[in-house]
Amino acid sequence: MSVFTKSLWAMSLLLLCIFQAQASEHPKIPLLDANGDNVIEIAKKSGQKLVFNGITYYKGNPYSPEQTCGSCHDYQAITKAYHFQIGATDMGDSWGKTHPKFHYSHLLSAGQYGSW
């Protein structure tokens, strides 16, 4: 194998690795506000700014995780998990009365949200 061919293979391998590394990275994203608008676009348009030692901040809308991440990911499905629901999935005013093993009729669920 010639030096040229070896170099070509090495280059191809390197490019492949770079491509794979990039493919495993999360693509760049905009931060979106509650209306689904890009907060930076809005902030730049607002023109209201603060400058600290040469660093400029523009006033904008608070970013919305639901809009930002939910545009690609199933936010509603993800937040059905117990870490988010913490008891809400089986909560009810009469839960304590129908679950006597927990002893106390005023409890509304077995989780943080409802029994705390």
Partner 1 sequence: MAQKHNKSQLTFDIGTPDEVATCASCHPGGGPYEFDRNGKRMDTIDPNTVPDLDGDYYSYSTSETEHGTAQKPHKFDWRKTGSLEADCFTCHLDPDSKRVTDAQGIKPVAYNPRLRIFAKRVDGKVNAVSLGIYPGRGWQSAFNYSDPLSRNKAGFMPGKFYSDLENPMADSRNYMRQPYVEGEGDPYTGLQAKRKFLGHFFREAPSAGLMGWDNNQDGYPITYVKIVKGKKDFHTDVYYEVNEFDEDNEINIPMLSSKDTENGDNKWTRVCGQCHVGVTDPINHSLQVRTWGMGMKADIVKRGEIWNLDPKTEKDPGYDVHGAAGLECTSCHTNPRPDSLAWDDYVVDADHNFLKGNDTGNHVRDDLDNNPPPKNCYYCHITSGDGPDPSEAHQKLFGSAAKSHLDKIACETCHIARVRYWTFRTFDYSLGFSYNYDNRHFPNPRGGMMDVLMAPYYGPIPMYGMGNINWLVGHTETDDYATDKLAPVAYMLPDHPDDLYGKMYQHMSGQKGFEWEPALIYAHTLRGDQIIPANPITIQTWLDKTLNKVLYPRELNAAVKGIRMTPKGQRYALLITGDKIFDKTGFMGHPDMKPEISTLQDIKMMRKALQKILRKEGEKDPDPVLFIGAHYFKVSHNVLPADQALGANGTCTACHGKNGEIEDRILSFTSNTIQGFDEGIKNGLIFIDPEVNYIKPVDLDGDGHADVLGASQKEVLEKSKEELGKKPKK
Binding site for partner 1 (CB under 8 A): 24-26, 28-31, 34, 38-41, 43-44, 49-50, 52-53, 55-66, 68-69, 72-75, 77-91, 93, 101-106, 108-116
Cβ closest to partner 1, residue 3 vs residue 106: 106
Closest to partner 1 by CB, 2 or 56? 56
Give the amino acid at 32. L
d(CA 19, CA 17): 5
Least gap, CB of 95 to partner 1 (angstroms): 10
The amino acid that residue 83 corresponds to is: H
Cβ atoms within 10 Å, residue 96: 19
- Residue 51 sits at φ, ψ, to 5 deg, of -120, 125
